[in-house]
Amino acid sequence: MRSVFIAVLIAGLGLAGFAVYMARDYIASLETTAVAEPAVPMTEIIAVKHDIAYGSPLTTDDLHYLELPTDALPEGTFTVAEDLFPQGFDVPRTVIRAMLKNEPVLANKVTKPGEDAGVATRLSSGMRAFAIRVDVASGVSGFLRPDDEVDLFWTGTLPDERREVTKLIDTNVRIVAVDQSADSERAGATVARTITVEATPRQVAAFAQAQSSGRLSLALVGALDQIVSEQVEIDQRELLGIEEETRAEAPVAPKTCSIRTRRGSEVVEIPIPCNDG
């Protein structure tokens, strides 16, 4: 019995030793493979040290370098401080989109050197800012923020017609400011009196005409909505499902022809065939 126990013990020790040997060999092969794999190319970019709010000046004290994979760099990054502050480190830029700690500094999140965070810095090339008067109803109950997109509806009376219509006049128009604020990070709902939108010169002319001839209402577009709204026009009859009455045409009386003749002292009419020729 004792000899059997010793044999089992020796076999167990042998298996344990073999397992340790195999594990060591496997780990060594993994290390060799890891060393053989090429390293991911990295690039040093400029990022912020801490959270920075909209409208804050950006200086070298707010920045540090951070390594990111070269193939994963977002567009508009800065790799050297001289590119971020081309007019000198004493001429700061202003933050126009809030940034979190260790977030890369991008060109579209800061103004040009020396500029403040006004509405003009948020306009795309060739675009203009146009102010639209709103209230709690037409302004989506105060839930609009800069960078939101809206559809614009016009309500008014059509020329030479007595019916009032509501018509979609433009879609996916970007808001650049709410009242006097261009901060898209502000929290809470406020009832705005003015919404400033980004528009082409032609759109500005159309919006001005619409605002002077009727009422403008805004409809907020969903953040993930990729569908462009179709053309919409509706009047009160269509809204209530009232069909326009069609008047029946009066029957046309058949054409008759006659001649008058005198019979003694009496004048009589005698029907004759009509000559259309």
When pLDDT is averaged across residues 242-261 and rounded to a whole number, the result is 70
Determine, yes or no, domain membership for 276. no
Give residue 157's pLDDT.
Answer: 86
Give residue 17's pLDDT.
Answer: 64
pLDDT surpassing 70 at residue 91? yes
The tens digit of pLDDT for each residue in 71-87 reads 989 999 999 999 999 98
pLDDT surpassing 80 at residue 255? no
Determine, yes or no, domain membership for 162. yes
Residues 102 and 141 occupy one common structural domain: no
Determine, yes or no, domain membership for 88. yes
Residues 178 and 103 occupy one common structural domain: no
Determine, yes or no, domain membership for 109. yes
How far apart CA 134 and CA 205 sit, in angstroms, is 18
The tens digit of pLDDT for each residue in 180-202 reads 776 666 655 567 788 899 999 99
Residues 54 and 92 occupy one common structural domain: yes
In terms of pLDDT, which residue wins out, 216 or 258? 216
Give residue 237's pLDDT.
Answer: 75
Residues 109 and 176 occupy one common structural domain: no
Give residue 269's pLDDT.
Answer: 76
Determine, yes or no, domain membership for 262. no
State the average pLDDT for the chain. Answer: 80
Looking at 89, 117, 145, the residue that finishes a domain is 117
Residues 136 and 49 occupy one common structural domain: no
Per-residue pLDDT band at 144 (split at 50, 70, 90): confident
Provide the domain count of the chain: 2
Return the minimum-mean-pLDDT range out of 20-24, 141-145, 209-213, 222-226. Answer: 20-24
Determine, yes or no, domain membership for 192. yes
The tens digit of pLDDT for each residue in 40-73 reads 899 999 999 999 988 888 999 999 999 999 898 9
Residues 87 and 146 occupy one common structural domain: no
Residues 143 and 216 occupy one common structural domain: yes
Return the minimum-mean-pLDDT range out of 51-60, 86-95, 234-243, 246-255. Answer: 246-255
Give residue 21's pLDDT.
Answer: 66
Q: Which domain holds residue 138?
A: 125-240
Residues 100 and 184 occupy one common structural domain: no
Residues 153 and 75 occupy one common structural domain: no
Residues 130 and 95 occupy one common structural domain: no
pLDDT cut 90: percent of the chain above it: 27
Token output for 248: 């029946």
pLDDT cut 70: percent of the chain above it: 78
Determine, yes or no, domain membership for 190. yes
Give residue 248's pLDDT.
Answer: 62
Determine, yes or no, domain membership for 30. no
Residues 158 and 201 occupy one common structural domain: yes
CATH of the domain at 107: 3.90.1210.10
Of the ranges 5-19, 165-179, 243-257, which is most confident? 165-179
Residues 145 and 232 occupy one common structural domain: yes
